[in-house]
Amino acid sequence: MPDNRMKDRLMVALDVNHRDAALAMRDQLGDSVGWLKVGLRLFVAEGPELVRDLNTSHKLFLDLKFHDIPNTVAQAVESAGGLGVDMINVHAGGGEEMLASAAKAAANFPDMKLIAVTVLTSDPMPKEQARVVALERAKLAHDAGLDGIVCSVHEAAAIKQTCGTNFITVTPGIRWGGQDTQDQKRVADPASAITGGSDYLVVGRPILHAPNPRDAALEALAMMESVTA
Ligand SMILES: O=c1ccn([C@@H]2O[C@H](COP(=O)(O)O)[C@@H](O)[C@H]2O)c(=O)[nH]1
C-alpha cells in the first residue's frame, strides 16, 4: 500500500556521480520528498556507505535491477537487505525461478519491499505490446511473491486490476509542462500517474536539472495533490 501523503509517494532519482552532489541534492530537497532513489550511476561511483547515509533522512529505493542466475540474484538481494534499504528491484525478464529465489532471500528482510522491472519505460516497443508484456511479467512477479513492479503509468491500472490494489506500482517516465522526454518513451504527467494507478512516482532529470530542484519537486507534488479529494 502506498504511503498517504503525496510527498511519500514521490521518489527522486539521484542520478549524479559524486557523494557531494548527492548530499547537496538531498539537502536542497529536504523534507519536500519522502524518497530518494539510488541507481547504477551513483552506486557504482560511491557504493553502500553513501546509501546508508542517504537512508538516514529519507526512505531509500536501491534501483540496481538485478538480472542474473537465481543463486547470484538471491545473494545480491541478501546483500542489499543488509544495507537496510526500504525497496530494491530485480528485472522480471530473469524469469520465474530467479524471481522466486529473490523473493525467498527478501523474506529475511520483512521491512524491505522487493519489486520487479517489467518493461523499461525507455523501451521503444509499441505501447499496446508493452502493456501485454508488462502485465505478463507483473503476474509472474506477483505469483513469485514479490511486493510489486516498476512499469509505466500506461500499464499501472491494468496491473492493479489483475494483481490487486496492494501490489505496488512504481512508475518512472514522469514529465510535465512540455518537458523534453529525453530517452523515455512511455511518459505521463504527475496528475495522470496518480489517477492512472501509480503508487510511487520516480522523477529524475525534471527535478535534478531544474533551476530550483525543490521548487520542481513541489510543482510535481501540487499536480499529484490536484487530483485527490
Ligand atoms: O523502466 C524504468 C526503470 C527505471 N528507470 C529509472 O528511473 C529514473 C528516471 O529518470 P528520469 O531522469 O526522470 O528519466 C532513472 O533513474 C532510471 O534509471 C526508468 O526510467 N525506467
d(Cα 204, Cα 183) in Å, to the nearest integer? 12
CATH of the domain at 199: 3.20.20.70
Tell me the per-residue pLDDT of 50-80, one tens digit each, with 9 for 90 and over. 999 999 999 999 999 999 999 999 999 999 9
- Number of structural domains found in the chain: 1
| Amino acid 228: pLDDT | 87
pLDDT of residue 4 exceeding 80, the answer is no
Q: Does the beta carbon of 41 sit less than 6 angstroms from any atom of ligand 1? A: no
The Å distance, Cα 60 to ligand 1 centre, comes to 15
CB-count burial class (<10 Å; 0-12, 13-18, 19+) for 68:
middle
Domain range for 56: 4-226
The Å distance, Cα 171 to ligand 1 centre, comes to 9
Q: What is the mean pLDDT of residues 9-38?
A: 98
The Å distance, Cα 174 to ligand 1 centre, comes to 9
Degrees (nearest 5) of the Cα angle 66, 204, 223?
125
Report whether 127 belongs to an annotated binding site: no
Q: Does the beta carbon of 172 sit less than 6 angstroms from any atom of ligand 1? A: yes
Report whether 3 belongs to an annotated binding site: no
Whether ipTM tops 0.95, in short, is yes
Residue 11 vs residue 2, higher pLDDT: 11
d(Cα 171, Cα 168) in Å, to the nearest integer? 10
pLDDT bin (cut points 50, 70, 90) of residue 108 is: very high
pTM: 0.98
Tell me the per-residue pLDDT of 120-163, one tens digit each, with 9 for 90 and over. 999 999 999 999 999 999 999 999 999 999 999 999 999 999 99
| Amino acid 60: pLDDT | 98
How far apart, in Å, are the Cα atoms of 198 and each of 90, 150, 214?
19, 10, 22
Q: Which amino acid is located at 12 in the chain?
A: V
CB-count burial class (<10 Å; 0-12, 13-18, 19+) for 51:
buried
pLDDT of residue 166 exceeding 60, the answer is yes
Q: Does the beta carbon of 150 sit less than 6 angstroms from any atom of ligand 1? A: yes
Instruction: Annotate 18-46 with three-state secondary structure.
Output: CHHHHHHHHHHHHHHCCEEEECHHHHHHH
Q: For residue 26, which of 40, 18, 89 has the smallest C-alpha distance?
A: 18
pLDDT of residue 189 exceeding 90, the answer is yes
How far apart, in Å, are the Cα atoms of 176 and each of 32, 196, 229?
18, 15, 21
DSSP state for residue 66 in the 8-state scheme: E
Q: For residue 65, which of 52, 54, 50, 80 has the smallest C-alpha distance?
A: 80
